[in-house]
Amino acid sequence: MLANTNFIQTFNILHRGLDCSALRQQTIANNIANVNTPFYKRKEVTFEGELHRALYGPQPIPAQRTHEKHLKFKGQLSLDEVQPMINIESETFVRNDENNVDINQEMAELAKNSLMNDAIVTSMTMMITQLKSAIQKGGRA
């Protein structure tokens, strides 16, 4: 009954957000651990832009695939295809040994990621509480 509802879609998006947050935490920790490693290039996780494109993405020409083997139209991205990706920032460097990890930036990213993680967990908890309440009441007001 809940299979294709907004509730499940929202919950799945939040779940993907948690996965992204965990990967971002790991990536930031790796950057911090390598702050003094010569030639190390910082990594960052991208996800939100692709998620936004999948949810609201511009599609200049209305198009529809009639077969799953047809090529996808530019801008056409399903939520199932949105995955967090690790990108290496290779064009910059902060020190003479070409390491580009700025510890202040990494600590700020860590705090930002922690807040995002807390917000996602709070949202998921509220959704589960609402579902639990609906189940317990059995549709009664």
> Which H or E run includes 20?
helix 6-33
Report yes or no on 119 lying in a domain.
yes
Q: Please tell me the predicted confidence (pLDDT) of residue 41.
A: 95
Residues in Cβ contact with 90 at an 8 Å cutoff, skipping those fewer than 6 apart: 41
Domain of residue 37: give its range.
6-47+83-135
Report yes or no on 59 lying in a domain.
no
Report yes or no on 60 lying in a domain.
no
CA atoms of 13 and 123, how far apart (whole Å)? 11
Number of domains in the chain: 1
Place 140 in a pLDDT band, splitting at 50, 70 and 90. low
Q: Please tell me the predicted confidence (pLDDT) of residue 3.
A: 57
Angle (CA) 12 58 89, round 5°: 70
Q: In the numeric block, which tokens belong to residue 4?
A: 């294709």
Report yes or no on 100 lying in a domain.
yes
Q: pLDDT by residue (tens digit) across 20-71?
A: 999 999 999 999 999 999 999 999 999 988 888 777 776 555 666 777 777 6
Report yes or no on 104 lying in a domain.
yes
Report yes or no on 118 lying in a domain.
yes
Which residues lie across from 88 on neighbouring strands? 43
Whether residue 72 is predicted with pLDDT greater than 70 in this model: the reply is no
